Amino acid sequence: MPSPVFGRLLTAMITPFNADGSVNLAEAKRLAAFLVDDCGHDGLVINGTTGEAPTTSDAEKADLIAAVKEAVGGRAAVVAGVGTFNTAHTIELAKQAQASGADGLLVVTPYYSNPPQDAIAAHFLTVAEASNLPIAIYDIPHRAGRPVETETLIRVAQHPRIVAVKDAKSNVVASSQVMAACDLAYYSGDDAYTLPLMAVGGVGVIGTSTHFTGLRTKAMIEAFVRGDTAGALALHRELLPVFTGVFATQGVMLVKAGLASRGFAPGSVRAPLLPANAEQTATFVALLDAANL
């Protein structure tokens, strides 16, 4: 298996907010340290979808990266989400992330404007030229509007700083074809997809439910790597209700509800999202309790 550039277990971390809606940097540090030191994470993605990046300002993004780097730097990789639908703005965020201490970048497919594949490739390559940090492409067609096609991924993989993919395409054949043709490190972008993706060469996960399942997800990954496929499968099945249950509605809504039930102070979500309602919260917390998480 290829050496994982950012490790094997990462979480797309939430952004905690204070009661007044401002970013709670102290709680972000606390949560980051918990995930790394108590839950075995190799890295954290800051300013991703679960971090509510569409609603945070550029200044807030920089402050979050710096705070998390201060909390866990040297013990875990800090990967910054910088992708937007604007190439120039993505470059600005990439440079800002590097200046704030990020160890890598997560760059989503340009969304909404539905660029063709040659334009998508040009976007990724242009961003890669603008920073010295390693880049993971975020391939999530159900949010971005377009997939990054197999040929496009193989083409951009020739750039030395494009090193990984967060794969939320859920097309194991297409992912397998890319991995067979180049050295991109594939991370599952869907928690339940982690073990199937590793079966064809994936290296790990950038998860959401891993705010709670981190230790056992890591055990599942490590079991597979050492050849204990039966043990990995047993853990996959044990965690499957939580892997899927976190996406019963928008993931960050349930993660924040679950963290609040576990003694953290994640705060609310920013509009246009709404907090998980009582029924959604109770259902998800029951899944965590049933799995002893």
Residue positions annotated with a catalytic role: 138, 166
How many whole angstroms separate alpha carbon 83 and alpha carbon 100? Answer: 16
Paired residues of 107 in beta bridges? 137
Query: Smallest Cα–Cα separation from 210: which of 25, 5, 48, 17?
Result: 48
CA quadruple 82, 177, 76, 217: dihedral, nearest 10: 120
- Three-state DSSP class for residue 164: strand
Q: Which residues partner with 167 through β-bridges?
A: 139, 188
Q: Are 100 and 80 in contact (CB under 8 A)?
A: yes
Cα gap 90→83, rounded to integer Å: 5
Are 100 and 62 in contact by the 8 Å Cβ rule? The answer is: yes
